[in-house]
Structure 1
């Protein structure tokens, strides 16, 4: 997803479509966004038919949609956005209490950009959307990045450094565990806020082993130490295994900078919100 495709969402008055069958939910989401994004125009839709009518009236900058609607579902909303004449490629975010289940079962289509678990609350949703509309750095955050390809690592590090993130790069899971162990024993000078790992790594251990070890052996939950796994594996069972093991989210290759950075910054902000 390029900057051009996103049509410079940092404009002063983004147009956000909020799709949900509940008028109360639409109002709650809209009110939070209006508070956080002065000048935002909210296009509220309760059904697939209203979505198509609104899209015919003009393009939007971002879409949030529930999964279940009276005359369709969120997947059809996403398809309608993609197929709308004159509509640039913009983020389409599914907002649902069933988002995690859909993610683990790999039921989202290619038309969906991202997902959000409704149980996290509307304030967190606003933070998530702001990551797309007006991304802000997270001060002093450090990413432990595990990648055995130096070419890929350099490109990905540049993406993260552009957003003022500190990055510690290692090649193997074993090196990462040594650093995390030192931190847990109070022997390290740095604190890691998030782990970003490729799924395939040199050595005996993989990205799935990283997830297992962090969640089970270290006992770190998803908020204590978020884990994002980068994978080019299109096998749904393998992707589900990563999520069920405790990965916060997946970043599918080829990596798109805006999507990667949005996911990283959101997980960092969410972790800090819960620690306050």
Structure 2
């Protein structure tokens, strides 16, 4: 289901979906009322929506999808030029599964949606993973490895910083394609400290080295701080495998689109 007040935007997103997923059936809706009527006719497998609709907003639509009779839990993705600002201000409700910022372009949107509908591994993708719990690390490494990712695990921010510094002058720098870190780590430095070193001291931008931060902290101010410090996205605990893998693969593909 594609919901947007602009016919042009609906056509563009629909064309992307049809091109990338030839067997897809696109349910085109101009607003909240049309989406409600469509949901009464049949369930859907994925929803994209604008934040602003002619008769409501994307968060109202997300709630409608969650409450629709006979509708299983499916991804509800906000597609908007204001998505990043909403993310940083922590304005999304729990009914919204994920977001996509239009500034990333249609190719990235195709990769993003494909990651939900037909996730494809990226052979050889390297992940530097920082987690001080060996039990949690073992389970998470297994999740990522099962989708073709090559995971290097480290127990603390200090160790990860040394590892990144050692590869700084190498032609393959930064030495990994994605940094995944817990925000709370044993030792003097936290995952936020590691993020700040990556962005400020080492100078790696969001495309050069995407950073996903895992956190169980539901404090809105703390989450906003992580995003403003340069985290590409947050993964909230408890970790759901499909969402973690989708976010990781999307950041990897987005980084490659930018190179």
State the TM bucket, normalised to the shorter chain: over 0.9
Instruction: Give 3-state SS (helix, strand or coil) of 2:164's partner.
Output: helix
RMSD: 1.2
Q: In the alignment, which residue of structure 1 is the partner of 2:178?
A: 194
Q: Is the 8 A contact 1:182 1:188 kept in 2?
A: no
Q: In the alignment, which residue of structure 1 is the partner of 2:133?
A: 149
Q: Is the 8 A contact 2:126 2:149 kept in 1?
A: yes
- Offset, 1:122: 1.6
Q: Is the 8 A contact 2:174 2:209 kept in 1?
A: no
Taking a change above 3 Å as real, the CA distance of residues 118 and 188 of structure 1, as seen in their structure-2 partners, is closer
Equivalent residue in structure 2 for 1:130, among 114, 135, 139 = 114
Relative to the length of structure 2, the TM-score reads 0.98
- Offset, 1:188: 8.1
Separation of aligned partners in 1, 2:92 and 2:110: 22
Instruction: Give 3-state SS (helix, strand or coil) of 2:167's partner.
Output: helix
* Runs of 4+ with >3 A deviation: 187-190
Equivalent residue in structure 1 for 2:5, among 4, 21, 42 = 21
Q: How does 1:108-257 map to 2 (within 5 A)?
A: 108-186=92-170, 191-257=175-241
Instruction: Give 3-state SS (helix, strand or coil) of 1:41's partner.
Output: coil
Separation of aligned partners in 2, 1:262 and 1:253: 15
Aligned pairs, number: 259
Q: In the alignment, which residue of structure 2 is the partner of 1:9?
A: none
Instruction: Give 3-state SS (helix, strand or coil) of 2:47's partner.
Output: strand
Q: Say whether residues 1:92 and 2:47 are aligned partners.
A: no
Taking a change above 3 Å as real, the CA distance of residues 198 and 21 of structure 1, as seen in their structure-2 partners, is same
Q: Say whether residues 1:266 and 2:245 are aligned partners.
A: no
1:30-62 Cα shifts (integer Å, max 9, x gaps): 011101101100001111000100000000000
Q: In the alignment, which residue of structure 1 is the partner of 2:32?
A: 48
Structure 1's unaligned 5+ residue stretches are 1-16
Instruction: Give 3-state SS (helix, strand or coil) of 2:86's partner.
Output: helix
Structure 2's unaligned 5+ residue stretches are none
Q: In the alignment, which residue of structure 2 is the partner of 1:61?
A: 45
- Offset, 1:189: 10
- Offset, 1:92: 0.2
1:64-99 Cα shifts (integer Å, max 9, x gaps): 000001110000000000000000000000011111
Instruction: Give 3-state SS (helix, strand or coil) of 1:109's partner.
Output: coil
Q: Is the 8 A contact 1:144 1:196 kept in 2?
A: yes
